[in-house]
Structure 1
Amino acid sequence: MAVGHSVEPGRWQAETDRLLDQMAGRFARVETRRRAGKFLLGLLADLPRKNCWTIAEHAGDLDPHGMQHLLGRARWDTDGVRDDLRDYVTGQLADSDAVLVVDETGDLKKGTCTVGVQRQYTGTAGRIENAQVAVYLTYAAARGHAMIDRELYLPRSWTTDPDRCDRAGVPDDIEFATKPALATGMLTRALRAGVAARWVAADEVYGADPALRTELELQQIGYVLAIGCDRRVPTGAGLLRADALTAGLPRHAWQRVSAGAGAKGQRFYDWALVTLTPPADAPDTACWWLLVRRHRDTGELAFYRCYSPHPVPLRELVRVAGRRWTVEESFQAAKGLAGLDEHQVRRWTSWQRWTLLAMLAHALLAVIAANEHADRPAVLGLIALTCNEIRRLLTVLVIDPARTLACPHAWSHWRRRHQHRARTSHYRRQQTTLRPS
Structure 2
Amino acid sequence: MSLTKSGDVASRFSAYIEGLASVIGHAGRAKPLRDYCTGLMMPCDRKSVEPMAAITAPERTAAQHQSLLHFVGQGDWSDQQVLAKVRELVLPGIERCGPIEAWIIDDTGFPKKGRHSVGVARQYCGQLGKQDNCQVAVSLSLANHHASLPVAYRLYLPKEWVTDRTRRRKAGVPKEITFKTKPAIALDHLRWACAVGLPRGVVLMDAGYGTDTALRGSITELGLSYVAGILPQTSVWAPGTGPRPPKAWSGNGRPPKLLRRDSKHRPISVKKLAIGLPAHAWHKITWREGTAEPLSSRFARVRVRPAHRDYWLAGSRPEEWLLIEWPEGEAAPTKYWFSTLAANIGFRQLVDIAKLRWRIERDYHELKQEVGLGHFEGRSWRGFHHHATLCIAAYGFLVSERETIPPSEAASTKIFKEAAIPATYRPRGSAIAA
Show the 5 A alignment for 1:321-360.
321-360=354-393
Alpha-carbon displacement from aligned partner over 1:296-355 (angstroms, at most 9, x marks no partner): 232441100101256311112111111111111111111111000111010000000001
Alpha-carbon separation, structure 2, partners of 1:103 and 1:113:
25
One-letter code aligned to 2:415: L
Equivalent residues of 1:9, 1:394 under 8 A apart = no
Match status 1:294 vs 2:295: no
Distance change >3 Å, CA 72–CA 194, structure 1 → 2: same
Cα distance, 1:224–1:30 mapped onto 2, change above 3 Å: same
CA contact (8 A) 1:139 1:147 kept: yes
- Within 5 A, what are the aligned runs for 1:51-90? 51-60=48-57, 61-63=60-62, 64-90=65-91
- 1:240: Cα distance to partner? 2.6
Q: Is the 8 Å Cα contact of residues 97 and 199 (structure 1) preserved in structure 2? A: no
CA contact (8 A) 1:287 1:311 kept: no
Letter in 2 for 1:294: W
Per the alignment, in what secondary structure is the counterpart of residue 265 of structure 1? coil
Of residues 119, 143, 146 in structure 2, which corresponds to 1:143? 146
On the 8 A contact 2:24/2:81 being kept in 1, the answer is no
- Aligned residues of 1:93 and 1:143 also touching (Cα < 8 A): yes
Counterpart for residue 427 of structure 1: none
Q: CA deviation at 1:287?
A: 6.0
Partner of 1:248: 276
The answer (yes or no) to whether the contact 2:110–2:374 under 8 Å persists in 1 is yes
C-alpha contact (below 8 Å) 1:135/1:182 kept by paired residues = yes
Structure-2 separation of matches of 1:213 and 1:234: 17
1:320 aligns with 2:362: no
Secondary structure, counterpart of 1:341 in structure 2: helix
Distance 2:149 2:134 in 1: 24
Q: Is the 8 A contact 2:321 2:343 kept in 1?
A: no
Q: 1:123 aligned to 2:126?
A: yes
Give the secondary structure class of the aligned counterpart of 2:198. Answer: coil
**Aligned position for 2:400:** 367
Superposition TM-score, scaled by structure 2 size: 0.81
Gap change, CA 1:119 and 1:312, over 3 Å in 2? same
User: Residue 124 and residue 182 in structure 1: after superposition, are their counterparts in 2 closer, same or farther (change >3 A)?
Assistant: same
- Relative to structure 1, the CA distance from residue 316 to residue 70 in structure 2 (aligned partners, 3 Å threshold; closer, same or farther) is same
- Tell me what 1:23 maps to: 20
> Secondary structure at the residue paired with 2:288?
strand
Is the contact between residue 320 and residue 338 of structure 2 (CA under 8 Å) also seen in structure 1?
A: yes
- Partner Cα distance (2:123, 2:371) in 1: 25
Look up the match of 2:407: 385
Ranges of 4+ aligned residues in structure 1 off by more than 4 Å? 278-283
Pair 1:394-2:415 in alignment: yes
Deviation at 1:9, TM superposition (A): 2.5
Note if contact 2:24-2:82 (Cα within 8 Å) is conserved in structure 1: no
Q: Tell me what 2:241 maps to.
A: 237
Does the residue aligned with 1:93 lie in a helix, a strand or coil? Answer: helix
Q: CA deviation at 1:262?
A: 6.8
Residue 23 of structure 2 contacts residue 85 of structure 2 at CA under 8 Å; is this kept in 1? no
> Following the alignment from structure 1 to structure 2, what is the Cα–Cα distance between the partners of residues 293 and 270?
6
Instruction: Report the CA distance between 1:258 and its aligned residue.
Output: 1.9
In 2 relative to 1, CA 106–30 (structure 1 residues): closer, same or farther, beyond 3 Å? same
Contact 1:98 1:140 in 2 (8 A): yes
Residue 101 (1) aligns with residue 104 (2):
yes
CA distance in 2, matches of 1:11, 1:251: 57
Unaligned runs of 5+ in 1: 1-6, 374-383, 404-437
User: Is 1:175 paired with 2:183?
Assistant: no
SS at match of 1:100: strand
CA gap of 1:333–1:300, structure 2 versus 1, over 3 A, is farther
Write out per-residue CA displacement over residues 352-397 of structure 1, whole angstroms, 9 at most, x where no aligned residue: 000111111112111211x337xxxxxxxxxx335x533122112x
TM-score normalized with structure 1 length: 0.81
Change (3 A) 1:390 1:10: farther
CA distance in structure 2 between the aligned counterparts of 1:237 and 1:326, rounded to whole angstroms: 37
Deviation at 1:51, TM superposition (A): 1.2
Identical residues among aligned pairs (%)? 26
What's the offset of the Cα at 1:82? Answer: 2.1
CA distance in 1, matches of 2:270, 2:169: 45
Number of equivalent positions: 381
Paired with 2:236 and 2:87, the residues of 1 have a C-alpha distance of: 34
Give, as a single letter, the amino acid of the residue that structure 1 aligns with 2:360. V
**1:38-92 CA distance string (max 9 Å, x none):** 1001000122222111112222144211001101222322221122223333322
Q: 1:394 to 1:280 in 2, by over 3 A?
A: farther
Amino acid at match of 1:241: S
SS of the residue 2:374 aligns to: coil
In 2, the alpha carbon distance for the partners of 1:49 and 1:176 equals: 32
Is the contact between residue 100 and residue 201 of structure 2 (CA under 8 Å) also seen in structure 1? yes
Matched, 1:195 2:198: yes
Q: Which amino acid aligns with 1:296?
A: E
Partner amino acid, structure 2, of 1:67: L
CA RMSD of the aligned region, Å? 2.6
What residue in structure 1 maps to residue 432 of structure 2?
Answer: none
Q: Which residue of 1 aligns with 2:246?
A: none
How far apart are the structure 2 equivalents of 1:43 and 1:181? 31
Rate the CA distance shift 1:57–1:312 in 2: closer, same or farther, 3 A.
same
TM-fit CA distance, 1:8? 4.8
Q: Does 1:257 align with 2:285?
A: yes
What SS is found at the alignment partner of 2:47?
A: coil
Match of 2:11 among 14, 24, 27: 14
Instruction: Determine helix, strand or coil for the equivalent of 1:40.
Output: helix
CA distance in 2, matches of 1:256, 1:119: 41
Higher helix share: 1
